[in-house]
Amino acid sequence: MKKIILSATLLTSSFFYAQIRVGIESNNQYYLDDDKIKIEENEAEDRLRSNTYIKVDYFKNKWEFGTQVESYYPKAIINYNPDLQDVNIGTIYARYNDIENGVNITLGHFYEQFGSGLILRSWEDRALGINNALFGMNAKLRLTKNLDLTALGGKQRIGMGFDFSDSYVLGTNLEFNAADALKLENTDLRFGASYVGRLNEEKVTEYEGINDLTNAFSGRFNLGIGGFNFGTEYIHKQKDIVIANEDYIDGSFLEGNAILVNIGYNKDNFGSSVNLRRMENMTFYSDRKLAGNQYNKGVINYIPALTKQYDFSLQNIYVYQAQGGINWFEKRNGEIGGQHDFYYDFVEGSLLGGKYGTHLAVNGSYWGGLKSTYDFTNNELEDEFLKFGEKYYSDIAVEVRKRWSPTFQTITMYMNQYYNAPILEGKFDDVKTDIVSVEGLYNFSETSSVRLQVQNMWASADKGDWGAALLEYVPNTMFSIYVTDMYNYGNSHAESRIHYYSVGGSFSKGATRIAVNYGRQRGGLMCVGGVCRYVPESNGLTLNLTTNF
């Protein structure tokens, strides 16, 4: 009897070693009309919109359990996936994680990425309204000290937690650390191989020759020696129907492929990198009928734009989106191009470094379509492997960061840009821009500062020239306030010139942050990590809350 009581006491005591984590994020907007911007008529009934996420995770020994409850009430923020409605479970999972023996098994919703993501990536990004979690099983096993295996299968979330696409996603991935196996010193050498399959739940009979199982394969390796790094990945996607605008193009069956090359060198105060990619017909959805949807529903793989993610607002008006698919009607086939980064730190005391040093960064990119020949009669397509077709986008930017004193520093940037608006957005004229941006930051103390940004864009078309300014004051570690404005003063239609002003602030303490702002939002593409969603023009009040405990 004493043993039973002692055992119960130990079990009860061990319970308190468990850990619970809770994260809350709430994004709320109240939309207003003014003399320049009015909410769309079909959206006007519900002016208060809210996206709220409550994530709870429980950890005990080698076990983890978690769920995310999501609320889109009374409606989701404008231009989010309309399938996100009311209050419901977003994700739920149970996981056994034995780190020592290399076993990690998840049942329920999970996120995964193979390689660069060009063959598979399921992820969540609340700012974009993306949650492509898979629901099923994900098993990670360490086969040997240097060889890891991942095997997964399930259905993909396309709406709320238990709203799935009409197919299964299957996958395996192998990672081999060759440098460790060969005991190579000062060298990183890794190999990887992946398989992803989409299995239709119902047999497709209306299209002759179509497979119920569509397969994709990839291989990659990465070599790092000293400051040098080289990596490459190749993906092949099995022949499948080409789809545009969520409609089948009867009789068009094409393979997809992509090749990615990354080269970099970093040593001391110098660094340089080049990223090259060629893709054709690489859009991959868990349901063919989801192809081309604007909410990224059902996307199996990850094809971000390989361009620099710029910090200044005017630099993000004409942003490039990766062109991984095929559009027969516009004679658009994939993309080919790349980007480069270069930086150099002029050391303190040198001629260009001055007393406190100077940081120089140069970035540029070029993207075009593949040079292709279209046979509409036979629904056939031929392309020349490394030849460029029509130019889509290019940019080059020079940035200088300079500290002038212990309390004052500046950022100065120049950017030149070409944007093929007829191809990328269906507008009439392509756009060429020159953008100058200057920022100054003055620190009153270690916790107090003021920041001023001034920008100007000279644009050849569309809405013409723009100007922008931002002033931010941080009195201490808890508070910040700002005021900003963007104005398309060069618009040829005077009545369409709009001040996109905004004023707001935030309060932060520990893991809690509250931000409030009022003002206008410029319509266009909003991008995170090279993936974009369209946001409409709006005016109103925004309240954001995040906290963790």
For 373-383, how does the pLDDT look when each residue is reduced to its tens digit (9 = 90+)? 877 666 677 78
542, 516 contact by CB (below 8 A): yes
Residue 173 has pLDDT above 70, yes or no: yes
pLDDT higher than threshold 80 for residue 506: yes
Mean pLDDT score across all residues of the chain = 91
How far apart (Å, rounded) are the C-alpha atoms in residues 114 and 121?
7
Q: Please name the helix (run of DSSP H) or strand (run of DSSP E) that holds residue 430, with its range, or none.
A: none
Q: What would the pLDDT profile of 230-258 be if each residue is shown by its tens digit?
A: 999 999 999 888 776 555 554 567 889 99
Per DSSP, the three-state class of 66 is strand
The confidence score (pLDDT) of residue 254 equals 83
- For residues 168 and 154, the answer to whether their CB atoms sit within 8 Å is yes
Label residue 476 by pLDDT band (50, 70, 90).
very high
| Dihedral pair phi/psi, residue 312, rounded to 5° | -85, 145
Q: How far apart are CA 53 and CA 126, in angstroms?
A: 9
pLDDT tens-digit readout, 429-443: 999 999 999 999 999
Residue 366 has pLDDT above 70, yes or no: yes
Q: If residue 457 lies in a helix (H) or strand (E), which one and from where to where?
A: strand 449-459
Token code pair at residue 37:
């911007």
% of the chain beyond a pLDDT of 70? 93
241 Cβ neighbours under 8 A, 6+ residues apart: 207, 210, 248, 249, 252, 253, 288
d(CA 202, CA 173) in angstroms, rounded, equals: 26
pTM score over 0.85:
yes
Q: For residue 284, what pLDDT is reported?
A: 93
Q: What is the pLDDT of residues 290-348, one digit of tens each?
A: 888 889 999 999 999 999 999 999 999 999 999 988 877 777 889 999 999 999 999 99
Please, which residues have CB within 8 angstroms of residue 418's CB and are 6 or more apart in sequence? 391, 393, 394, 395, 430, 431, 432
pLDDT at 322: 94
User: How far apart are the C-alpha atoms of 317 and 315, rounded to whole Å?
Assistant: 6
Of all residues in the chain, what percent are helix, strand and coil, respectively (each to 5)? 5, 60, 35
Determine the average pLDDT of the residues in 95-110: 96
pLDDT digits (tens, 9 = 90+) for 53-72: 999 999 999 999 999 999 99
How much is the pLDDT for 30?
A: 96
Rounded to whole angstroms, the Cα distance separating 541 from 170 reads 44
- How far apart CA 296 and CA 273 sit, in angstroms, is 29
Cα–Cα dist 522/497, whole Å:
12
**pLDDT tens digits, residue range 398-437?**
999 999 999 999 999 999 999 999 999 888 899 999 999 9
pLDDT in the model for residue 4: 31
Confidence (pLDDT) at 360: 97
In whole angstroms, give the CA distance from residue 83 to residue 101. 41
User: What is the structure's pLDDT at 376?
Assistant: 64
Task: Give the model's pLDDT for residue 202.
Answer: 72
